Chain A
């Protein structure tokens, strides 16, 4: 059963605007969350992470928000750029096992 859920398979945003990618999880034992970005024909690359003891982490244009009570996290990209077009995976650690969502394909249009 999928413990990390990304319910939007795709998202289209105009360049310069905010992209918001959402992720829900079911396992309250998850203690660390990550976002990965993946281009076609490449392996996933790490984008940003957040510990379960925090509710926000920011790195340049990327911010991840964690709402533990709702078991929800989101990735904000501001401003969005065409080079951000990729598949974004939400992932969560339970011990040493990393659980991934199915991914959201982001398209940033000029």
Chain B
């Protein structure tokens, strides 16, 4: 089954404790992206990657890191999480080229205390 998976689905952590949210897709998509969803703000793009070793900032990259060492994986790293990073995070992927629809993972709900 074609899908985007994220782990963990739920995470509670404390300020300053480094964490990684994994994202994996099995559709051989070149493009992958991370979003956060906050009440009243909709979905905002954090980082995206057009292919292996190619990443770029989205609208809200501060406090986040990403890496793309393999085509199927695109982990989101919070080196020193803060409470304002409490959010619902979505990973997505699509084929290269403009306009192709993105396929979203199920989301990771993060609470930073």
**Total count of chain B residues near the partner, CB < 8 A:** 26
A101 touches B42 (CB 8 A): yes
Question: Chain B nearest CB: distance from A9 CB in Å?
Answer: 8
B40 touches A102 (CB 8 A): yes
A46–B95 Cα distance when bound, in Å, is 14
Task: Determine if B4 is an interface residue (Cβ-Cβ < 8 Å).
Answer: yes
A93-B98, A96-B50 known; A44+B42 contact, CB < 8 A: no
A1–B79 Cα distance when bound, in Å, is 27
Task: Determine if B103 is an interface residue (Cβ-Cβ < 8 Å).
Answer: yes
Q: How many A-B residue pairs have CB under 8 A?
A: 59
Residue of A nearest to B31 (CB): A96
Residues of A within 8 A of B58 (CB): 97
Contact with A along B95-113 (1 / 0, CB 8 A): 0001101111111000000
**Total count of chain A residues near the partner, CB < 8 A:** 25
A89-B42, A96-B31, A102-B40 known; A41+B98 contact, CB < 8 A: no
Of the residues B40, B50, B101, contact of A46 by C-beta under 8 Å: B101
Of the residues B40, B42, B45, B101, contact of A97 by C-beta under 8 Å: B45
Task: Determine if B33 is an interface residue (Cβ-Cβ < 8 Å).
Answer: yes
Of the residues A31, A89, A95, contact of B43 by C-beta under 8 Å: A89
A91–B41 Cα distance when bound, in Å, is 13
B42 touches A45 (CB 8 A): no
Interface residues of A (CB under 8 A from B): 6, 31-32, 34, 36, 41-46, 49, 51, 89, 91, 93, 95-103
5 A–B pairs (Cβ distance < 8 Å), ordered by A: A43-B92, A43-B105, A95-B98, A99-B45, A100-B44
